[in-house]
Amino acid sequence: MLNFDPHRWIAEREGQTVATVATVATVATVATVATVATVATVAAPSAKNEKANSPEPLATVATVATLPDASEVQRTLDSWCDAFNALSPLRPATGFTMGRWQTLYDCAAWWLENFARRAAWEGWSTGDVFGIRPGYPARGGLIDQLGDNRSLVMADGGARWRSWGIMSSYAAGCSPHLEPFWKGQ
């Protein structure tokens, strides 16, 4: 495998100090939480920089994140995929019209393909994503609210999208109690 770092190559050619990165990962078996600490030291200014003559300390960036256990994430993904694979786009669950069922089915297929892994890592529940509120269309979980829209952005435990110029958002943990749409209304 080619291990070429263009930034290191440029820095060596210009005689700069090369940035160093250290990563430390600790997995707690009891709490099933992985703690990841990443520390990066940025290179000192080059002689070509006008600030090179002024003494400046090295910049240091530190980020600490708490992530769920990988096996829990995989179990969540497996349960979502197993439930979805058991569905048919031509056989709606009890209480759904064919049009609404196909909208939910298509949106779920698109979402699973593009966002499921990230959502599982961020702790989204089945109700948050696939839940419905019987009698209140488009007021359930993310898939129900998203409908035919495909302008979704998911980051930091939230989802945002724009539909007809109106921004909408939804956060993980809002509706974990909702039943998934494949169980019917």
pLDDT tens profile 34-68:
333 333 334 444 444 445 555 555 555 554 555 56
pTM: 0.63
Lowest mean pLDDT among 31-40, 83-92, 121-130: 31-40
Instruction: Flag whether pLDDT at 6 surpasses 90.
Output: no
Beta strands in the chain (DSSP E): 20-28, 33-41, 60-68, 131-132, 153-155, 158-163, 166-171, 179-180
3-state secondary structure of 129: helix
Predicted confidence (pLDDT) per residue in 90-105, tens digit: 999 999 999 999 999 9
Other Cβ atoms less than 10 A from the Cβ of 10: the count is 11
Query: Quick check: helix, strand or coil at residue 20?
Result: strand
